[in-house]
């Protein structure tokens, strides 16, 4: 019996080079990004991305790792923001020297405490019931935020000033770039901690609970306790994110605990990909880009978002991360060449269809919201008259033709793709069978 065992657990484990490279690259990107993107808009975006990364990763502890779909995560990031702001103001009033750089930790503590308080009842149930409970809890806190203006600041919220106290090394956190680096440090540390969590007993049992909650009970673990502890940990990191947001915007309003925000966390974490650790990072970046940039381009951005989300749920439930990984797998088997042409077809027909459909949507929006001013819409350089039949017909034609061509391209792509998958499966079988 001892034969096979001895060779397997005295495995020679050299330093995991791949992992070191990835984390170093991550740190490098965080460090260098504001130097590459120099405008103040970029710095604002980057700061918000860092904050979003932390909160989306914390949401994924529950959603992707624990299988708990919740609609109330903004409660914990929001309460963290409020408490952090109060801490900041309290320190500003000269009560006690409290370094600004530690204010987000106050937010984290708030997130932790509230999650500990509300978490036990919330995790009493699982699945769809859990989803509804989180929705109700979120509404409860949001409604309460209007009831206690002393803590929540009423309509105007609570504001503060992050430039206070001693300025060690001349760092006041006034300029955005300084705050960005503070956020970057928190982002790196929190990401590392949350990744480490996935490699602990609790993290693994959380996955087991997601896969088979009943079986977990029969190996000695209390399923609810596992969920509860994960809930509290997720609340902690959400609170840190909220604290950083409080510093970044220097104002916190009750919107931070709203159902809208919780929904955004869910939407973008799913879009980024809940089944891989780095998926929410992609989702967080998209979240910031969409809410800040896309909303400037078009009034229809929420509609586009909803449609993209719908398609993702139907055709790519693993999110963008899973799409990336699936393609990487194809590359690793050396079969990507076959996909070049189908992808090109998808891209071209997709762009055509999208142009037509987007133009239609924009024209309708324009008609509804702006037509009083000027019936002509400037769509990507083309002048479209929302009152003219010709414009409508031509746009409609583009949309219809584009959609039809896209459907054909999709079918062709699916054929090639499943063919490749078959080859890959066969190869895997072959490799497993060989000793």
- With CB under 8 A as the contact rule, which of the stretches 51-59, 223-231, 289-297, 407-415 interacts with another protein? 223-231
CB of 144 to another protein, least distance (A): 6
CB of 206 to another protein, least distance (A): 9
Q: Which of 57, 110, 266, 352 binds another protein (CB under 8 A)?
A: 266
What's the distance, Cα to Cα, between the start and end of the chain in Å? 20
Contact string (CB under 8 A) for another protein, positions 94-123, x = contact: ---------------------------x--
Q: Are 108 and 116 contacting, i.e. CB atoms less than 8 angstroms apart? A: no
* Nearest CB to another protein, comparing residues 328 and 425: 425
Residue 199: CB atoms within 10 A of its CB come to 8
**CA–CA distances in Å: residue 136 to residues 68, 118, 126:** 15, 12, 14
Q: Which of 26, 33, 42, 69 binds another protein (CB under 8 A)?
A: 69
* Nearest CB to another protein, comparing residues 208 and 335: 208
Q: Which of 88, 233, 234, 377 binds another protein (CB under 8 A)?
A: 233
Q: Which of 307, 351, 382, 408 binds another protein (CB under 8 A)?
A: 307
What is the three-class DSSP state of 96? coil
Q: Which of 95, 296, 390, 432 binds another protein (CB under 8 A)?
A: 432
Give CA–CA dist 325/327, Å, rounded.
Answer: 5
List of residues 6+ apart from 181 with CB closer than 8 A = none
Q: Are 259 and 139 contacting, i.e. CB atoms less than 8 angstroms apart? A: yes
What is the three-class DSSP state of 193? helix
Tell me: does residue 219 bind another protein (CB under 8 A): yes
Q: Which of 48, 58, 87, 126 binds another protein (CB under 8 A)?
A: 126
Between residue 370 and residue 429, which ones bind another protein under the rule CB under 8 A? none
* Nearest CB to another protein, comparing residues 9 and 12: 9
Between residue 336 and residue 375, which ones bind another protein under the rule CB under 8 A? 364-365, 368-369
Phi, psi of 59 (to 5 degrees): -65, -35
Give CA–CA dist 431/421, Å, rounded.
Answer: 15
Q: Closest by alpha carbon to 95, among 190, 165, 194? A: 165
CB of 7 to another protein, least distance (A): 10
What is the three-class DSSP state of 404? helix
For residue 294, the 8-state DSSP code is: I
Q: Which of 89, 212, 295, 327 binds another protein (CB under 8 A)?
A: 212
Between residue 161 and residue 200, which ones bind another protein under the rule CB under 8 A? 196-197, 199-200
- Token pair 């490098």 is at which residue? 28
Q: Which of 44, 101, 125, 348 binds another protein (CB under 8 A)?
A: 125
Tell me: does residue 314 bind another protein (CB under 8 A): yes
């Amino acid at each position: 019996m001892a034969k096979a065992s001895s060779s397997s657990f005295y495995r020679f484990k050299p330093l995991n080079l791949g992992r070191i490279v990835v984390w170093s690259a991550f740190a490098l990107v965080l460090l260098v990004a504001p130097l590459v993107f120099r405008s103040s808009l970029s710095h604002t975006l980057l700061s918000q991305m860092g904050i979003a990364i932390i909160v989306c990763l914390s949401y994924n502890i529950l959603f992707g790792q624990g299988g708990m779909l919740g609609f109330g995560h903004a409660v914990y990031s929001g309460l963290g923001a409020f408490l952090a702001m109060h801490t900041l103001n309290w320190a500003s009033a000269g009560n006690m020297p409290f370094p600004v750089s530690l204010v987000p930790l106050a937010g984290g503590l708030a997130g932790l405490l509230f999650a500990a308080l509300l978490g036990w009842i919330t995790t009493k149930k699982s699945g769809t019931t859990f989803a509804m409970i989180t929705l109700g809890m979120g509404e409860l806190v949001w409604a309460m935020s209007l009831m206690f203006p002393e803590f929540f600041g009423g309509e105007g919220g609570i504001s503060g000033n992050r430039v206070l106290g001693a300025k060690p090394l001349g760092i006041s956190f006034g300029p955005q770039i300084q705050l960005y680096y503070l956020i970057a440090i928190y982002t790196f540390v929190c990401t590392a901690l949350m990744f480490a969590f996935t490699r602990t007993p609790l993290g693994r049992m959380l996955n087991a609970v997601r896969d088979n909650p009943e079986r977990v009970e029969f190996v000695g673990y209390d399923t609810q306790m596992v969920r509860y502890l994960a809930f509290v940990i997720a609340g902690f990191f959400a609170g840190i994110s909220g604290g950083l947001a409080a510093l970044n915007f220097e104002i916190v309003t009750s919107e931070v605990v709203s159902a809208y925000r919780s929904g955004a966390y869910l939407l973008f974490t799913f879009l980024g990909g809940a089944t891989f650790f780095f998926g929410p990072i992609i989702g967080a970046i998209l979240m910031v880009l969409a809410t800040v940039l896309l909303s400037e381009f078009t009034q229809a951005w929420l509609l586009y978002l909803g449609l993209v989300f719908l398609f993702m749920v139907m055709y790519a439930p693993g999110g963008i991360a899973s799409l990336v990984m699936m393609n990487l797998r194809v590359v690793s088997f050396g079969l990507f060449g076959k996909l070049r042409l189908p992808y090109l077809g998808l891209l071209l027909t997709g762009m055509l269809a999208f142009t037509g459909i987007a133009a239609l949507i924009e024209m309708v929006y324009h008609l509804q919201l702006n037509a009083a001013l000027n019936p002509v819409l400037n769509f990507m350089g083309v002048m479209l008259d929302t009152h003219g039949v010709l414009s409508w017909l031509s746009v409609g034609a583009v949309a219809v033709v584009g959609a039809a061509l896209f459907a054909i391209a999709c079918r062709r792509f699916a054929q090639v793709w499943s063919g490749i998958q078959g080859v890959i499966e066969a190869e895997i079988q072959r490799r497993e069978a060989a000793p």
